[in-house]
Chains A and B, each alone.
Chain A
């Protein structure tokens, strides 16, 4: 079974509009973390935002916010006022077992290619 599901393979958005990238996850671990990464065409993975399973509030980082709905197991990324430089692949990822003594692996979704139109 897929642990991380991103159902939008590609999206086109007009510049300055807000955009929501969907992500649902599956875990039975009560302790987990959710991440969003951006991968431009150059290939590097850029960390955007993090949400912990015990966090009471939705995470925000500048223009990025994470709409965390725990009961629905969704962690959608919202980008406000999109810019041309936001065009990239976006990956949702999850790390389970945060209480484990060792750093546990991150599992990635299939990604969403976001294209911003001028």
Chain B
């Protein structure tokens, strides 16, 4: 069983809609990453957070350590937001041995 679970696996929405992607993890982590992967394959780090909430432009990430749950929100979604969004946990020891990844959420925003 994967230690990091994302939902939904696939999401199609209309431009302008508010988007929420969820991530649950079953192991202790020191930080959680949200990543964006475009069709070409390259990955961009969106957020790294260990508590509370972070905001960057139209993107908001929250984490609840007690509930082992994080969410990524996109406000006023746009077709250019179409990508795979991946959450990844950094181990409680600092994650020196790398990240544990969810399988990703494939988001399509239709104009």
Decide if A and B are genuine partners.
no
Q: Show the binding face of B for A, using Cβ within 8 Å.
A: none
